[in-house]
């Protein structure tokens, strides 16, 4: 065990030195250290980047500080001291809370500073942030991610970036330290649209999966065999393999992606579709199921807890 740890540390140090020599290490700020943000920030540290962190609940920064990050007193301080500041917040309201005000990111943002928002928000929030950042002389990139706790920890997220192309090139080593696939989608707003489309599919797939599991249970079939059938065919996917056991038990749902965040994404997707004149019949129904699960107190559970509503 000690030899493996030592070798891992040596590899990390070699990579850090190589990156430093290539001029790819940056002074990075990270605001928002929840389930996703804390894992993503940890991967930036592992890649050797100098990290300044802030979170409303200060105790969530302790593990990162112990690993070498520096704790900031406010989002403003993060922006004032870093080349690029990253935000990973729960929703548009949370993004606005750390962005605006006398202690917000914009108050500390200097000429040429990069603002990289990796939160899942609506297009209007993204475009407002871009305009405010540009007015301060900064550059803006949105980069929401596909993936939950485990991919964030393993740096295997899919990252959808859009906005300032020069900032994208500068931030690419950061994005590659957090994800396995990085896409540049053009103008700001496109990544928000893509992420919402991705998540409405994920929510619909998970709900259909829960209904299939409910039918299996109601007709006396073996859930384990049902999972084998799914995994052997065209519907094989990591989400079903990961969520299958907890959906089969239908009791506790350890959180990887909170149900309240999925419901938020479904709501934003439906709003986007209304603006585009595109009906989303299935997503509207799925959203109602998630709203019911949220009303029944499952918001802080994993989004697979929608199974409780499906089972009745």
Residues recognised as catalytic = 195
Report the alpha-carbon distance of residue 100 to residue 31 in Å, rounded.
13
- Phi/psi for 250 (5° steps) reads 55, 40
**Kindly report the CA angle at 194 between 131 and 181, in degrees rounded to 5?**
105
Query: How would you classify the pairing of strands 84-87 and 27-31?
Result: parallel
The dihedral built from the CA positions of residue 121, 143, 158 and 274, taken in this order, carries a sign that is positive
In a 3-state reduction of DSSP, which class is residue 216? helix
Report the alpha-carbon distance of residue 298 to residue 274 in Å, rounded.
27
At 152, list the tokens. 């964030």
**Kindly report the CA angle at 274 between 197 and 301, in degrees rounded to 5?**
50
Helices 238-249 & 223-232, crossing angle to 10 degrees? 170
For residues 206 and 266, is the Cβ–Cβ distance under 8 A?
A: no
For residues 243 and 209, is the Cβ–Cβ distance under 8 A?
A: yes
């Amino acid at each position: 065990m000690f030899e493996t740890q030592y070798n891992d540390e040596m590899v990390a140090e070699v990579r850090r030195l190589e990156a430093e020599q290539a001029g790819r290490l940056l002074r990075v700020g990270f605001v928002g250290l929840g389930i996703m943000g804390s894992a993503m920030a940890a991967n930036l540290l592992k890649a050797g980047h100098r990290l300044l962190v802030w979170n409303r609940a200060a105790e969530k920064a302790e593990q990162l500080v112990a690993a070498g990050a520096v704790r900031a007193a406010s989002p403003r301080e993060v922006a004032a001291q870093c080349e690029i500041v990253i935000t990973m917040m729960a929703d548009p309201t949370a993004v606005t809370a750390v962005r605006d005000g006398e202690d917000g990111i914009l108050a500390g943002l200097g000429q040429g500073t990069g603002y990289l928002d990796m939160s899942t928000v609506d297009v209007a929030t993204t475009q407002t942030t871009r305009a405010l950042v540009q007015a301060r002389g900064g550059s803006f990139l949105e980069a929401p991610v596909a993936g939950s706790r485990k991919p964030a920890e393993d740096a295997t997220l899919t990252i959808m970036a859009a906005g300032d192309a020069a900032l994208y090139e500068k931030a690419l080593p950061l994005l590659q330290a957090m994800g396995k696939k990085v896409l540049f989608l053009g103008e700001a707003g496109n990544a928000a649209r893509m992420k919402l489309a991705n998540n409405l599919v994920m929510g619909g797939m998970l709900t259909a999966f829960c209904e299939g599991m409910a039918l299996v249970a109601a007709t006396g079939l073996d859930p384990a065999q049902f999972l084998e059938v799914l995994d052997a065919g065209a519907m094989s996917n990591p989400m079903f393999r990961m969520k299958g056991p907890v959906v089969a038990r239908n009791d506790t749902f350890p959180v990887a992606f909170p149900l309240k965040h999925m419901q938020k994404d479904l709501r934003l997707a439906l709003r986007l579709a209304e603006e585009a004149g595109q009906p989303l019949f299935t997503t509207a129904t799925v959203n109602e199921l998630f709203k019911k699960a949220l009303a029944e107190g499952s918001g802080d559970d994993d989004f697979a807890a929608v199974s409780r509503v499906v089972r009745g």
